[in-house]
Structure formats: C-alpha cells, structure tokens
Chains A and B, each alone.
Chain A
Amino acid sequence: MEYVSPEGLRLDGRRPMEMRQIRGEIGAVAKADGSAVFEMGNTKVIAAVYGPREVQNRSQQMNDQALVRCEYSMANFSTGDRMRKPKGDRRSTEISLVIRQTMEACIMTHLMPRSQIDIFVQVLQADGGTRSACINAATLALADAGIPMRDLVTSCSSGYLNSTALLDLNYVEDSAGGPDVTVGFLPKLDKVTLLQMDAKLPLDIFENVMQLAIEGCKAVANYIRELLLENTKQLEYRRGV
C-alpha cells in the first residue's frame, strides 16, 4: 500500500514531517488535584492526577520518596470496532508501566516523602499515538496539580514507511506494520527518557527517525509551555490581591 503519494502527501493529507493538530485543555476533572485533556488529531486522552496524598497501602510507603502509580485504560468506545477488553490486559499494563516510569523520572519524588501520587489516563478516542498523547496529558495534569518536576516530559512518535520518515503516525500508518518509534523527551535538559521501537531499522535511518520524533516533542513542549503559562496567569489575575 502506498502511504506517501508521489506528490509527497500522506493518507490524511499531511506532509511527512507534519504533525497533527494538537490541543490541550487544563482542568477537565473537577474533583482531581490536576487534570487535563490532550488531543493529537483524532486521538483524545483525558488524564487526572490525585495527590500527593497519604499512601493507601501502608506496606508500599517509602520514607524518602513518593510512590507514583499510573493506570492506563481505553474506553470501550474509543476504537472503531467496539471491543470489550478485560481491565488489566497485557497491552494496558505495559503502557501503564511505561507512563509511570516516564513520569516518575521527572517528578521530584524526594520532596514528597511518605506520600503517593496517582495518575489516571484514559483514551477517549484512539487514532494512533495513544502512548504519546497519554504522556503529554499526564504532564499537563501533573503540572496543574502543582507537583514539582525537573522538566516537562513530552512525547511524540515517528515511523518509517515507503522509505520516508513520517512524524506522528495515525492509526492507519501505525497498523501498516512498519517501525514505530515513540520518544519521551525532556526539552530543557535535552535528554531522552523514553524510547520504544518494536521493529528493525538500519542505524543511520533510525537516527533520522528518532531526530524527527524529538523535533515533534519540542513542538509539543512549546505548546504545552504556552498553555501552562496562560493558565498560571489566569489563575493569578483572577485571584487578585
């Protein structure tokens, strides 16, 4: 199948190095300490953060740092064919783990000893790149909850189809079976915290693809930063003196 037309356009009309439209909204869940909705094209994810709060399971309490937990789930209505998946299937446990590790790496857990932070992410619409969207939503929600972090983690995926590097794959491109590189990136520290790929790629091409994903992460980071700054300003001026 042809994923990039001779004119250099992808199936949904984007250029190879073009991202989908991103949109974020802070404060979607009223009762949560922090929450956000994040959209990348048709992929839509909601995240809620509770905490830092008292550790629920006393045996997991750590005296020098906070416990970070993450739960990823996909709404039944999120995919094209309505599937009734069991709650802890392998895919979602794996993604939960990935998100947890990525977020834990940038949260300053040592500042909140003997407490726990819960991150809940749910996919409302799935159109490829749910992993990235979840990480971006979780970052926004954590920032909204006022949890100290070393840096904003942002994430973006890229792939390699028809001998072209493509940024931000959608569902059709994702299911083509080509390589799919998901990168989690700390823009200020200029470090990669997450890198996943479940295929083989020659090293030089892989570097290009990864660099493309990093550029995508930077673009997302700029957007998230603007969003947070706007939100902070709004809260401050509303509060008044």
Chain B
Amino acid sequence: MRGLQLPLNQTQKVRLQRALEKLESLSSKANSNASVTIADSIPVNAEDSLLKGHGTTVLNDEVLATTCGIIERVNKLVYVRSLRARYKPEVGDTIVGRIIEVAPKRWKVEINSGQDAVLMLSSMTLPDGIQRRRTAVDELNMRSIFSENDVICAEVRGFQHDGLQLQARSRKFGKLEKGQLLTISPYLVKRRKQHFHHLEQYGVDLVVGCNGFIWVGEHIEPTDDIFEGQVHKPEQHTTENDEDSSSLEGQEQSYTPLETRQNICRIANAIRILSTLGFNITVDVIVEIVNLSSSLNLDVHEMLGPEFHVLVAEKEAVQRSLTKKKI
C-alpha cells in the first residue's frame, strides 16, 4: 500500500480493509473495465472517426494506451486520464508554487510540473490594479516583491515559446506567508470554480493549487493588505523614525496566535491523512476531518496515528455510501 506504513494492529488492519473494500464496491460498478495499463488496447469502433487524445497511440489500426489510467470518452475524443503523474498545466488553473530563481524581468517558479514556470514582472499588477510601468527601478526592486524560496500563488496564463507563463493580476494572488505548504499528488485535486477558501471558524486561509501544492496559512484580510501596499510602497525613502515604527508594527503583525497555529497544523494533518489514503481532497472533507479530530479531543500530533487513519477511512466509506443512496 502506497505510503501507508503505519503500525496497525490486527483489528485496525481488518477495519481498514473492510472500509476500503466498501469503497471499492461503491465505485467499481460503473467503470470497472475502464482502467488500462501501458500498451493495453482501447476498444473503439473502427468506423467512427476518432480523435485520439492524451495517453494514446495507434499501432496497426489499434488504439493503445501509453500510460496507466482511466479511459475517458467525450464525444469523438478518446483519451486516457492518468493518475499519479506530474501536473499538466491548463490555462486558468490556480496554482501554488515556489520561487527558485530571480532572473531579469521574471521569476522562475517550481510548480511540480515537467518544467519550471515563468512569472513575468509585467504580468504582476500593482496592488491597486494599475498596470506596471517598465522601469529599471522596478526591475531592481523585484526581490522586494518575491525573493528566492518564497511561496506564491498565481494563475496559469498560457504557453509561450519556451515554457509556461504565469500571471498574478489580482490581489488574491501573490506571496503566501505565515503558514505551511503541503505537497500531494495532483490527481487528488479537482478543478473547481473556487480554489481560495477562507475557513472562518479557524481563521485560516486554504489555497488548493491545481498542481498539488496546498497552502494552509493564517487568514489575512485582503483589504488591509491593499491599503498598506498603497501607502508604503511609494514612500520608501522616509525618515528613519518612520521605518522603525513600521518595522515594530510589522513585528506585531507577524505574530500568529497559538490557537491559529494549531488550527493550521490540524488542517495540514487532515490533508496529509487524505493524501496517504488517496482520497479526493475537497474543503468539505477537510473540514469534516478537522471536526472529527477535535470532537474526539485528539491532539494535533495524534491525528497522524494509525487509529485516526482507520477512522477517516471508515467515515469516508459511510459518507460515500450515503451520497450514493441519495442519487
């Protein structure tokens, strides 16, 4: 079992097995023979004019799969949706990434894909939404916006000659601070309308990047941010007094209360559990697991123990069978 090396005792093993079997029985009926491995032939009608998509090749009038995955058919298109692969960027995806290099007029961003992405300075808008002017000063100050190893979130803009371009044209995008970054397999994240979540009851922001990077951090009011950006950015040559007071202010702001930090860890652990069990990651499920753990009075570190994994698996099985019945 992938990544799941827990010291389970006998009863826990049996319970986990039962929960997983239940999950299997719930899902398998619809597409039990849709799974293919490499070089399996995909059944198609020879007469139909077909569009052969990702993960397929043709050999002697036979359509073969080139990756392990699930066959998907959309009208004439046949493709293999691969599980457990690196992130394949699509235009408009919200992603979380890490700056690895500051280059002239651009940042290189690690996004768990086959290639590093590029975020141009010109695809960043100023905090109040004004287009950036291309000045040398602006370019020299790039490190004050993002420097190496900063975690940022951005949007996929498109592909241009030598790679993937990102953009951050809204104030919801930008640098992520005061939190932790989690890495999961990208196939567990579903593309949705909303990838930014503010969990009010915990005071936590959750950014679920389509590339499998997930950010859990303290909630930051976006309005405040903007205001500060407007005031402080143009006035960089102020008196020393002013700077001192602003840094003090900054220290005060950088303090995160203990409770919030615990909440961050709790949510992060919930995501870790889901990822090791290989369950789909949605906000609702994460919140449910967090609630379950706090209702059981578990400490943050106890969440990663074997017992809680089994509980989560059982809960998921019950949940899925309920939704199945409703349909």
By a beta-carbon cutoff of 8 Å, the part of chain A in contact with chain B is: 26-27, 30, 33-34, 51-54, 108, 112, 114-115, 143-152, 187-189, 225, 228-229, 231-241
Contacts and interface: CB of A to CB of B under 8 A. Distances in A.
A146 B38 contact: no
A148 B2 contact: no
Task: Please name the 3 residue pairs, one residue from A and one from B, whose CB atoms are nearest each other, closest first.
Answer: A146-B85, A27-B2, A52-B114
Contacts of A30: 3
Interface in B11-25: 20, 23-24
Interface stretch (B67-75, B197-205, B224-232): B67-75
A1 B317 CA distance: 60
Nearest to B69: A232
Contact of A33 (B86, B162, B187): B86
Contacts of A112: 114
Given A148-B55, A150-B57, 5 more contacts: A33-B84, A114-B162, A152-B39, A187-B39, A239-B188
A154 to B, nearest CB: 11
B24 A237 contact: yes
Contacts of B86: 33, 51-53, 145-146
B70 A236 contact: yes
B68 A143 contact: yes
Nearest to B21: A237
B278 A235 contact: yes
A235 B67 contact: no
B88 to A, nearest CB: 10
Helix, strand, loop or mixed for chain B's interface? Answer: loop
B84 A148 contact: no
Interface string B76-102: 000000111110000000000000000
B68 A238 contact: no
A236 B85 CA distance: 13
26 contacts: A33-B86, A52-B114, A112-B114, A145-B85, A146-B69, A146-B85, A148-B55, A149-B39, A150-B39, A150-B57, A151-B39, A188-B64, A189-B39, A189-B59, A225-B37, A229-B35, A232-B36, A232-B37, A236-B27, A236-B31, A236-B35, A239-B279, A239-B280, A240-B23, A240-B280, A240-B320
A161 B227 CA distance: 83
A236 B83 contact: yes
The range of chain B's interface size is 35 or more
Given A236-B27, A240-B27, A240-B279, A146 B84 contact: yes
A18 to B, nearest CB: 26
A235 B83 contact: yes
Interface of B: 1-3, 20, 23-24, 26-28, 31-32, 35-40, 55, 57, 59, 64, 66-70, 82-86, 110, 114-116, 162-163, 187-188, 277-280, 316, 320
B214 to A, nearest CB: 16
Residue in A108, A189, A236 whose Cβ sees the most chain B Cβ within 10 Å: A236
A114 B85 contact: no
A241 B280 CA distance: 8
Contacts of B28: 233, 237
A157 B36 CA distance: 28
Nearest to B324: A241
Contacts of A238: 20, 23, 277-279
Contacts of A145: 84-86
A33 B66 CA distance: 17
A150 B320 CA distance: 37
Contact of A228 (B23, B32, B38, B57): B38
Residue in A115, A231, A239 whose Cβ sees the most chain B Cβ within 10 Å: A239
B38 A232 contact: no
Contacts of A51: 86, 114
Contacts of A54: 110, 114-116
A59 B158 CA distance: 26
Given A150-B66, A240-B279, A232 B23 contact: no
Given A52-B86, A144-B84, A189-B59, A229 B70 contact: no
B20 A232 contact: no
Nearest to A29: B3
A231 B68 contact: yes
A239 B83 contact: yes
Given A150-B57, A150-B66, A233-B35, A114 B3 contact: no
Nearest to A152: B38
Contact of B83 (A146, A149, A229, A241): A146
A38 B141 CA distance: 52
A188 B39 contact: yes
Nearest to B70: A236
B279 A53 contact: no
Nearest to A142: B38
A76 to B, nearest CB: 24
A145 B39 CA distance: 16
A149 B85 CA distance: 13
A108 B85 CA distance: 15
